[in-house]
Amino acid sequence: MAGGSGTRLWPMSRKAQPKQLLPLFGGKSLLQIAGARLEGIVPAQRRLVCASDLYKDQVMSAVPSLTNENWLGEPTGRDTLNAVGFAAAVLAKRDPNAVFIVITSDHLIEPHDEFVRRVNAGFELVEQDHTRFVTFGITPTFPATGYGYVERGDAIAGFDQCYMAKRFVEKPAKEIAQMYLEAKTFSWNSGMFVFHAAKCLEAISWYKPESFAGLEKIANAWGTAQQKDIVNSVYPTLPKISLDYALMEPASKDARRSIAVVPMTVAWKDVGSWPSWAETLPADSAGNRANCQTAHMDCKNISVASDEVSHTVSVIGLENVIVVRTRDATLICRADMAERVKDIASSAPPGLQ
Angle (CA) 216 214 211, round 5°: 105
Arithmetic mean of pLDDT, 314-329: 97
**Residues 156 and 49 grouped into a single domain:** yes
Does residue 217 contact residue 234 with C-beta atoms inside 8 Å? yes
341 domain residue, yes or no:
yes
Distance (Å, rounded) from C-alpha 9 to C-alpha 326? Answer: 12
Indicate whether 190 and 55 sit together in one domain: yes
Distances (CA, A) of 275 to 9, 156, 279, 317: 10, 38, 6, 19
Residue 148, burial from CB neighbour count under 10 angstroms (0-12, 13-18, 19+): buried
**152 plus 17 within the same structural domain:** yes
What are phi and psi for residue 304, nearest 5 degrees?
-125, 130
The answer on 132 and 27 residing in a single domain is yes
Q: What is the mean pLDDT of residues 291-311?
A: 96
Domain final residue pick, 235, 270, 305: 270
* Whether residues 112 and 247 fall in one domain: yes
Q: Look up the pTM and report it.
A: 0.91
Q: Is 176 found in the same domain as 75? A: yes
Q: In this structure, are 203 and 316 located in the same domain?
A: no
* φ and ψ at residue 334, rounded to 5 degrees: -65, 140
Distance CA 353, CA 5 (A): 10
pLDDT at 26: 87
Query: Are residues 214 and 323 both part of a single domain?
Result: no
Which pLDDT tens digit goes with each residue over 238-270? 999 999 889 998 998 999 999 999 999 999 988
Inter-residue contact 137 to 187 (CB < 8 Å): yes
Claim to verify: residue 305 and residue 228 sit in the same structural domain: no
Question: Do 176 and 242 belong to one domain?
Answer: yes
Domain boundary among 250, 270, 290: 270
Look at residue 147 in the predicted model and tell me its pLDDT. 85
Q: Are residues 261 and 289 in the same domain?
A: no
For position 70, which CATH number holds?
3.90.550.10
- Supply the range of the domain harboring residue 174: 7-270
* 245 & 278 share domain: no
Supply the pLDDT for residue 188. Answer: 93
Cis before 111? omega within 30: yes
Within the chain, residue ranges assigned H as helices are 30-37, 56-62, 79-94, 112-128, 174-183, 197-207, 209-221, 227-234, 243, 249-251, 274-278, 341-347
Query: What DSSP string runs through 80-117?
Result: HHHHHHHHHHHHHHH-TT-EEEE--TTEEEE-HHHHHH
The DSSP letter of residue 337 is G
328 confidence band (pLDDT: 50, 70, 90): very high
State pLDDT tens for residues 90-145: 999 999 999 999 999 989 999 999 999 999 999 999 999 999 999 999 989 899 88
- Residue from 315, 308, 302, 331 nearest 7 by CA: 331
Sequence-distant (6+) residues with CB within 8 A of 120 are 41
SS3 289: strand
On whether residue 2 sits in a domain, the answer given is no
Q: How far is 254 from 25, CA to CA, in rounded Å?
A: 41
Q: What mean pLDDT comes out for the span 7-36?
A: 93
